[in-house]
Structure 1
Amino acid sequence: MIILIPAYEPDQQLPALIRSIRDAEPWATVVVVDDGSGPAYRDVFDAVKALGCHVIGYARNRGKGFALKTGFGFIADHLPGRNVVCADSDGQHTIIDILRVAAAVKSGSTAIVLGTRSFTGNIPARSRFGNNATRLLFTLATGQRISDTQTGLRGYPASMLPWLRSVHGERYEYELNLLLEAAQADYAITSVDIATVYLDRNSGSHFRPLADSARIYAPLLKFLASSFSAFLVDTVVFLALILITDSLLLAVLGARAVSSAVNFAVNRRLVFKHGSEKPAAQTGVRYFGLVVVLLAANFGLLAAFEALSLPVLPAKILAETVLISISFMVQQRFLFSRKNPAADPGQTFTEPSAAAHIRA
């Protein structure tokens, strides 16, 4: 097992965490990535070095995602074949929980292990709101229910390292992107319950509420915005055709033909990062096959709602809400997935300047 800790401008909680690791597991390998903290924090990293850690880094702040991928690169190059547990540097993950997550990671498995918090008790408002908002958007976009999408305590089998280095994102959005892309890479997501710890109201966090929230929510919001715009087109055309033809079937078929063409173009070019890697004709045939299936499901739901005397517009909204998650999962996993998820080695190891890597 290797414990990987990204750190930006850490306080004394970082050496305290390392000491607790050493007390519990004296021979554990710990890799600390200095995410461009600067000379003012050299004493903290020197203290970590003295406790027998590998310390690597680079001159300027690049973000948590970049730090994690740098750590994964170092481990792949210098400490291959070992499972990795990622923990935050601010003391919010106890050694007991770190070891529990480590124990849940099985060599040769294809499952990410998340240390999930319960968010009960005296939780900072921004942390509670941020997790609830991300969890809701994640569920709406993917249909998957993950209780703690923002946890920094995660375990990965050694075989995942190439894929971990290839996933897009350099800051806080990287960890959400991992969850969004896990399904298309055929990786499962499991969880272990951990304590919810916030020291001094989470004052040590470097999370920027506006900028970093925008980065985190972007992958979800892009799909939801694309789906919503297609929904608006579909609804307008649907209502117009209902008035013109007085035929539910013709209205559904005509509206879906127009809205699906719009949705395909937007998703392929703007929403899914790897959407344009495959030929448009090949992807288009599969996409419109999906449209036919969803169209049949949509028509069936609308007919059922009509039989229940539900007004046409609420029935339309309800049917689209039911089907949006299915659409996202199929498009991400099959239609617009990358050609080979693990082929790209991703970020290469950056030789540090502020804190040279050290063999413990």
Structure 2
Amino acid sequence: MTVLIPAYEPDHRLLELIANLQRVDSKMHIVVVDDGSGEGYRDLFNIAGAAGCTVLIHPTNQGKGLALKTGFRHLIEIGSTEGVVCADSDGQHLPSDIMRIIAAVDENPNELVLGCRYFTGKVPFRSRFGNSATRMVYTLTTGRRIQDTQTGLRGFSASMLNWLCQIPGERFEYEMNMLLAAQEEGIRMYEVPIDTIYLEQNKSSHFRPVADSVKVYAPIVKFCSSSLLSALLDFALLFLLQLATGSLLVSVAGARVGSSVVNYSMNRRFVFNKKQKPSVLSSAPKYFALVVLILMFNYGFMYLYNESFGLPLIVAKLLTEGTLFVFSFWTQRQFVFRAERLPRSHSSRVSKHAS
């Protein structure tokens, strides 16, 4: 089994992790990817190489996703037939937990193994909030729940290496894309509880709060953008048609039809962009049936919140739109624009071993 460690500007904890892993298994194959750390870190990587690790070098920083892919491609090139476990270089993953992931990969070769933290004890706010947010996005996107969507401790069999290289993403968004791709491909996920460790309030993390968050939350961001543009178009068409026809019915209906057609096109091409797009004949009827259904739900929820619960109209409208936004996103991803694939099991399982 190979342990793959992407590293950008690491400190002594990388060498400590390597030494601890080699104490557990002196023959362990360890691959370290220097993701453009620069000359100031050359000695540290030389020490890792002298310790028996394979060190792969990026001349410039390219991101965690590309660093992982460099490691995967290396394993393909050398003809590795064993699995691989990815671990972070900052000391957050204990050798004992890494060994448990290795064992889980051996026992579950057809599943993506995740080392999942349960965020007990003192956890930095940005880490707790970030994982909660991405967990919510993943659940909203797929309809399935994973305990730790941001874990860097993951295990794969050798048969998954080519698939891992094809998943889009260059930086931290790659790990979320991997989970989304696994769901779409029907690859089961096996969750192994691990210790939650944050050193120095996670100062060593190279996660960029704005740039990387936008990429991680891209599915929701694109859907929000598409919805906003369609709403603006609906608003503009409403007034233009009202000026042209003087008929409110024609204006409302025409604006809704026009904005719906544009929204369908944007969602099919850009928002739910997949390698195997469903055909227009397959997706369009589902989409416009959803439009009709949402119109009915819109009235129903407005009546429920405003008339039955007595909420102010603006509050009822906000609650209605929020509810239907979640419903629309999930339905479009799971049913309207879902690519055709052979049926496979795509549930996740949790190890019963205690952490």
TM bucket normalised to smaller = 0.7 to 0.9
Q: Where does residue 358 of structure 1 map in the other structure?
A: none
Task: Provide runs of 4+ in structure 1 moved above 6 Å.
Answer: 231-238, 252-256, 292-307, 309-316, 338-341
Q: Is the 8 A contact 2:64 2:172 kept in 1?
A: yes
Find the aligned partners of 1:10 and 1:203 in 2 and give their Cα distance: 12
Is 2:189 aligned against 1:192? Answer: no
Amino-acid identity (%) = 47
Contact 1:183/1:333 (<8 A) preserved: no
1-structure distance, mates of 2:315, 2:259: 19
Q: Aligned letter for 2:163?
A: W
Quickly say closer, same or farther: Cα 1:302–1:81, change in 2 above 3 A. Answer: farther
Q: Please report how far the alpha carbon of residue 18 of structure 1 lies from its aligned counterpart in structure 2 after TM superposition.
A: 0.7
Superposition pairs for residues 73-152 of structure 1, below 5 Å? 73-106=73-106, 109-152=109-152
**Partner amino acid for 1:211?**
A
The Cα of 1:291 is off from its aligned counterpart by 5.1
* 1:242-300 C-alpha deviation (Å, 9 max, x unpaired): xx77xxxxxx9989755542331121232133378565455434544665676777787
Q: Alpha-carbon deviation of 1:206? A: 1.7
Aligned to 2:55: 55
Matched, 1:219 2:231: no
TM-score between both structures, scaled by the size of structure 1: 0.76
In structure 2, the partner of 1:176 is 176
Query: For each residue in 1:174-213, what CA deviation from the matched residue of structure 2 results, as whole angstroms up to 9, or x when unmatched?
Result: 1111122222111223322111111122222222222222
Question: Residues 276 and 340 of structure 2 are in contact (CA less than 8 Å); yes or no, is this contact kept in structure 1?
Answer: no
* 2: CA distance, partners of 1:126 / 1:79: 40
Cα distance in structure 2, aligned partners of 1:84 and 1:90: 19
Aligned residue pairs total: 334
Larger RCO, structures 1/2 (Cα 8 Å, 6+ apart):
1
Query: Equivalents in 1 of 2:262, 2:230: separation in Å?
Result: 7
C-alpha contact 2:142 2:183 (8 A) present in aligned 1: no
Q: C-alpha distance in 2, partners of 1:76/1:328?
A: 37
Which residue of 1 is the match for residue 345 of structure 2?
none
Call closer, same or farther: CA 1:143–1:278 in 2, change over 3 Å. closer
Residue 192 of structure 2 aligns with an amino acid whose one-letter code is V
Alignment of 1:236-315 (within 5 A): 257=257, 260-274=260-274, 280-285=280-285, 287-288=287-288, 308=308
Secondary structure class of the residue paired with 1:105: helix
Deviation at residue 335 of structure 1 after TM alignment:
5.3
Q: How far apart, in 2, do the equivalents of 1:308 and 1:110 lie?
A: 50
Q: When the two structures are superposed, what TM-score results if normalisation uses the length of structure 2? A: 0.77
* AA in 2 matched with 1:142: T
For structure 2, the residue ranges without an aligned partner over 5 or more in a row are: 239-247, 343-355
Query: Quick check: 2:62–2:171 contact (8 Å CA) kept in 1?
Result: yes
Map 1:337-356 onto structure 2 (within 5 A): none
**CA–CA separation in structure 2 for the residues paired with 1:9 and 1:36:** 8
CA contact (8 A) 1:184 1:333 kept: no
Cα displacement (A) at 1:76: 1.8
Task: Write the letter of the residue equivalent to 1:162.
Answer: N
Deviation at 1:215, TM superposition (A): 2.3
Deviation at 1:301, TM superposition (A): 6.7
Moved more, 168-177 or 329-338: 329-338
Q: Distance in 2 between matches of 1:227 and 1:74?
A: 42
2:30 corresponds in structure 1 to 30
The residue type paired with residue 85 of structure 2 is V
Provide closer, same or farther for how the CA distance between residues 61 and 285 of structure 1 changes in structure 2, counting only shifts above 3 A. same
